[in-house]
Amino acid sequence: MPLLSVNAVRRCGAVLAGAFLMTWPTLYNRYPLLYPDSMSYLEDGRLVARAVFLHKFSSDYGGRSFIYCLGILPFHWNVNPWPIVGLNAVLTAYVLWLVVRSLFPQQTVTHYLALILPLSMFTGLGWFVGWIMPDILGPVLYLSMYLVVFARESLSRTERLTLLLIAWWAVASHVTHLMLAASLCLLLVPVLVLQSQPTRRWLRAVGGVAMIVLVVAASHLALHLYLYGEPSLNGKRPPFLMARVIADGPGRWYLQRHCGDLHLAICDHLHDLPNNVGKFLWGIDGIWDSSSADEQERLRRDEMPVVLGTLRAYPQEELIISADHFWRQLQTFGLSDYDPNPWIFEMIDIALPGARAPYLQSRQAQETLHEEFFTSVQEWTVMASLVVIAVWTLFVRQWSRRVVGLTAIIVFVVIANAAVTGILSNVEDRYQARVIWLVPLLAGVLVLEWLDHYPRQDCKGEPRLQESACTNLSDV
């Protein structure tokens, strides 16, 4: 077999091995991991597909990303969610392979497996790969952006086009991905300028990322225009921001002072406003869930007037509360959102007819996943990783351009994700857990960089760098 074919087989084998390693939580669970939102993603795809391809419209298609729902539909057909896990694993393993190859062109397979094995075992990476949610696509997107911007030369034309397609779907899969991708465009400019990159180069790099964001925005606007008759980025989503400011307190104070002068639907609930976002939106007697379709439409229209009015009336109070939410979210990244929620049992026969029996046999349904233990493992891994990154920052003076780019993206994403989710939504483990494994990834990259440049003795007993080895190892 030609050398090229052997290397191609080894590369494919390494990616598939990495993908398999990431699925161990799902195999341990004996079924793909489900979340209440999973049922909407599984159910809504069928409704959107009927409207798009058969012109059979519905009054409501849910509040999730329609593009993500359509994307996973061919992988489950409301029968079996296991292929979605395979899709998540292969996409994640492939992007991580390209990242490792961009940094370690020599002995790539060895470096790749040295990173994938501990990441899969000691972080939440595998848990998010096995979750029927778009959460894993966030990190896949941010790593794809690193490759397109900082490691473009390491990619073939086919690989670049593949990454652009993956990035488009990842951005379109969740509104926070869209927000962080747009914010990253602003971060990339000063990083590339500080690296003394030619203007034409960084304009092309940032412009490519910005174009993906714009195309995604246009896709959402067009799809919602087709389905609902009016363009929108989010469709008929619940009023998360209004629920947030009311639960924080300032929104309640604002309504108590001004409802006499305002004609808002929310004022009908002035005396039973909850202090919790979840109770407002999803509680049994919650304001949103107990409202009729017409009332929900009025609440959606009221959202921005209430939010903006609250910010004008109580800017300092809301800033302090938001800063607290951000700080708590930054430190909240456990693997504790895998409880068998009653909504899953209620909807599983609709979203996945025939899946109740195998789901009931899963550890998740039987509450034997031992999430507390795996949360502790991840927390210790993150803390150790932060120590490694701090030591590297203090003692290593020379950073390659690609390592700087990867570091800038990961640091920004971890901080910005906590800000966006903690401030605009709610403080929950899964929001930060879906990106926190990027910190151990960065620490692992820095350790491998150090090992590759650690002085050793050459064949004549003189100090040398590992990359100028006595034996000529092939580039895999």
Per-residue confidence of the chain (476 residues) as pLDDT tens digits? 565 577 778 889 999 999 999 999 999 999 999 999 999 999 999 999 999 999 998 888 887 889 999 999 999 999 999 999 999 999 999 999 999 999 999 899 999 999 999 999 999 999 999 999 999 999 999 999 999 999 989 999 999 999 999 999 999 999 999 999 999 988 888 887 777 777 777 777 788 888 999 999 999 999 999 998 888 877 788 888 999 999 999 999 999 998 888 888 899 888 888 888 888 888 777 888 888 888 888 988 889 999 999 999 999 999 999 999 999 999 999 998 888 889 899 999 999 999 999 999 999 999 999 999 999 999 999 999 999 999 999 988 778 889 999 999 999 999 999 999 999 888 999 999 999 999 999 999 999 999 887 654 444 444 444 443 333 333 34
pTM above 0.85, yes or no: yes
Residues 301 and 259 in one domain: yes
Distance CA(61)–CA(441), nearest Å, equals: 37
* 265 within 8 A of 295, measured Cβ to Cβ: yes
Residues 302 and 336 in one domain: no
Q: Please say which residue of 324, 357, 383 terminates a domain.
A: 324
Residues 175 and 317 in one domain: no
- Cα-Cα end-to-end distance for the chain: 15
Residues 233 and 252 in one domain: no
Residues 225 and 362 in one domain: yes
* 97 within 8 A of 18, measured Cβ to Cβ: yes
**Domain contains 247:** yes
Structural domain including 104 reads 11-237+331-464
Question: Residue 45 contacts by C-beta under 8 Å, 6 or more apart in sequence?
Answer: 69, 70, 72, 73
Residues 22 and 59 in one domain: yes
Locate 462 and state its tokens: 């003189």
* Residue in the structure block whose two tokens are 């009653």: 342
Q: Please say which residue of 324, 344, 373 terminates a domain.
A: 324
**Domain contains 473:** no
Residues 51 and 158 in one domain: yes
Residues 304 and 347 in one domain: no
Total domain count for the chain?
Answer: 2
**Domain contains 244:** yes
* 168 within 8 A of 212, measured Cβ to Cβ: yes
